[in-house]
Structure 1
């Protein structure tokens, strides 16, 4: 029987994290690198990826194996080419983390505005990145994930893929919660369960659904959010590291088709 440290180890494995230039994606990359994985960081902003790689190396992980890949997940050819590029450069692909997404603060015409002004073009763009790209990446990564024998897919959904927004939190602020964000994140959660039963027993597929993350939002919003949350605070990026490592590693070798809400108990009310 293996020890906990052995079950947690990702030594010898390669993990591809999309959206790695973002807050949550970067935190996940740090966690998997610390567990011994070679991490392939993917995003549209190469300079931001290089900064993420520098942070990983600066976290007492000078020997961490990190590679950066510039990709436009809204472009099918770019998305589909990514897994093969990672496998060729890193020697394989064992873990795929679909973290890239259009979020509430994304600057896109007809997106972060009142429902009456939201546009179909923005809705479709969100689905391309939040759902379709994940579908394409899993398809292209599948041969490598099967070959691994330890293949794991982690889709980063959202609590708003599970429940509707409480609009009282937003009163008096300029913050937005686009319909396309919630719908696409809900679709990603359902895609997770579909893939889990379809790709079993060769590849495990799970999701994690973050709650609200503190990023200097208006004080009124933060206070309302904290009152609405059983654990009494908003999340920080570090809160997602443990769940990501659990789902990527053999700690969860008998877990598939699950959506773990990392939301401070928000969905438990």
Structure 2
């Protein structure tokens, strides 16, 4: 389970799930390369993870919608941290993202928002794996973890959203489904040198409207929404030698939502 001596590059690292994954890998001894858009958020998150775990945490600003920024990132990380052993593609446009033509009824969703989502949610992952591949191969323990979603597997149950302002944009589920298929494709392409897996979180409690939370909880066999802590074990499993014979898998962490 130890990740001592290994470096993990985590995009969306200052976000809720990205930060939890970073902390889990740091607890196992990894050096963390935390990537996000906002310097202030990055620095605060890095300080918190370092204080909690004692791990080395380096921060990198990057705009994942910009190909030049994305493709230069692995070399920057490897140059400062000495290599890349684990790549976690966690950054994404999500349902609450403030983007024109995004979190609105289907008839009002814009193609520009659709394209932006695919650029960040799928294309950036494709580019990062391409650029990080030399270091991942050199590691001998290379692991890619793509953070998808249960909505990459299932369609939304719109009854959950009735009477709320919440949304579930078409491009979110479509891009997460594409990320899962990219995982399958990469797993056979970069083998046997690098393993590629996905993890698909279910709904995470973030103080959503009470009606939504109650409906979601009733719809979930484990009778609650997820917390960020629920994803740490799966991330550590996929990053470490515990999963040394696991590739091309999508582990759905949803409290049983997809089992109905």
TM-score, with length taken from structure 2: 0.99
3-state DSSP class of the match of 2:32? strand
Who is 1:204 aligned against? 195
Match of 1:219 among 207, 210, 223: 210
- Residues 130-149 of structure 1: pairs in structure 2 closer than 5 A: 130-149=121-140
After TM superposition, what 4+ stretches of structure 1 lie above 4 angstroms from structure 2?
none
Who is 1:103 aligned against? 94
Who is 1:43 aligned against? 36
* Partner Cα separation in structure 2 for residue 249 and residue 31 of structure 1: 11
Q: Offset at 1:171?
A: 0.2
* Partner Cα separation in structure 1 for residue 237 and residue 41 of structure 2: 26
- Residues 47-126 of structure 1: pairs in structure 2 closer than 5 A: 47-59=40-52, 61-62=53-54, 64-126=55-117
* Partner Cα separation in structure 2 for residue 257 and residue 32 of structure 1: 21
Who is 1:4 aligned against? none
* Partner Cα separation in structure 2 for residue 51 and residue 245 of structure 1: 23
- Extract unaligned runs of 5+ from structure 2: none
Match of 2:235 among 244, 248, 253: 244
1:59-85 CA-to-partner distances (Å, cap 9, x unmatched) read 1x23x1110000000000000000010
* Partner Cα separation in structure 1 for residue 148 and residue 14 of structure 2: 17
Who is 2:186 aligned against? 195
* Partner Cα separation in structure 2 for residue 33 and residue 81 of structure 1: 24
Q: Offset at 1:121?
A: 0.1
Who is 2:2 aligned against? 9
* Partner Cα separation in structure 1 for residue 176 and residue 40 of structure 2: 27
3-state DSSP class of the match of 1:113? coil
Who is 2:26 aligned against? 33
Q: Offset at 1:21?
A: 1.0
3-state DSSP class of the match of 2:155? coil
* Partner Cα separation in structure 2 for residue 103 and residue 26 of structure 1: 16
3-state DSSP class of the match of 2:29? coil
